[in-house]
Amino acid sequence: MRTRDRACCAQKSHIKERIRNIVVNKFPGILGKKIGMTQIFDEKGEVLRCTVVQGGCVVVGKRTQEKDGYSALIVGLGERKEKHTNKAVAGAFKKANQTPKRVVRELRGTAEWVAKFEVGQALPLGDIFSEGQFVDAQGTSRGRGFTGVVRRWSFAGGVQTHGTHEYRRHGGSIGTNMTPGRTLPGLKMPGHYGAETVTAHNLKVSKILADEHLLLIEGAVPGPRNGIVLIRGAVKKNGGVKK
């Protein structure tokens, strides 16, 4: 086997090993909508900048270990008009005796946690989160369109003096000479920026308004206002609950 082939096989085995070690967040969570940001005061009188997330997602189905090979809750958020729902999706909701939902996600979890909820039940914030708990927030970042390297990659740009013309915000040289004679992949260049799945880890729950289905999280949550976010227990802190 040639050296190049051996290197390729080693790289594939390394990728497979990384896939096996991927951790799936199975801690309790909700699907919510980002309302905006506000500020509250703690016991010391200090200001806490918080993001307000509205819950109220409803269980529309389940995945079981016996039938599907894993345990999960299928939750829906928001109502979808019937004229915007195709027959296959409408039939699935009708079979579950639920109205069509605008957004549907799966929340993987343990079999014990999945068994606590029934189809048609709303996920209560008070039973899932606690004040002071650390959570992970996942959302879609704001789309910024086609941007240059200064905004997209924080390039410094060219010098602003000494006779510089037309090259103040350019990326500079992108290629090499005869070897390798091509632009290397992964080079930071202008292009589409934003509209990507982003996860913010280890955010702290400041306050829970269970009656209003509102969750106040200290710090910034990815995504624009009215964006859909997924809030789960912090995977790097074993759920984020204080022992």
What is the tens place of the pLDDT at every residue in 137-173? 999 999 999 999 999 999 998 898 999 888 899 998 8
Over residues 186-200, the mean pLDDT reads 95
Strands (E), 123-221: 134-140, 146-147, 191-192, 197-209, 214-218
Residue at 159 is within a domain: yes
Answer yes or no: is pLDDT of 108 > 90. Answer: yes
Residue at 113 is within a domain: no
Residue at 30 is within a domain: no
Q: Which domain holds residue 161?
A: 144-173+189-193
Residue at 116 is within a domain: no
Tokens of 163: 């006779």
Residue at 91 is within a domain: no
Residue at 1 is within a domain: no
Q: Among 43, 74, 35, which residue's Cα sits nearest to residue 229?
A: 35
The span from the CA of 147 to the CA of 55, in Å, is 34
Q: Among 167, 238, 174, which residue's Cα sits nearest to residue 202?
A: 238
Q: Among 72, 69, 57, which residue's Cα sits nearest to residue 106?
A: 72
Q: Which secondary structure element, helix H or strand E, spans residue 65, and what is its range? A: helix 65-68
What radius of gyration, in Å, describes the C-alpha atoms of the chain?
24
pLDDT digits (tens, 9 = 90+) for 40-96: 998 899 999 999 999 999 999 999 999 999 999 999 999 999 899 999 999 989 988
Query: How many domains does the structure of the chain reveal?
Result: 1
Residue at 162 is within a domain: yes
Could you count the other beta carbons within 10 Å of the beta carbon of residue 208?
20
The residue behind tokens 């951790």 is: 23
The span from the CA of 207 to the CA of 201, in Å, is 18
Residue at 226 is within a domain: no
Question: Global pTM?
Answer: 0.81
217 vs 16, more confident: 217
pLDDT at 4: 59
The span from the CA of 71 to the CA of 218, in Å, is 30
Answer yes or no: is pLDDT of 102 > 80. Answer: yes
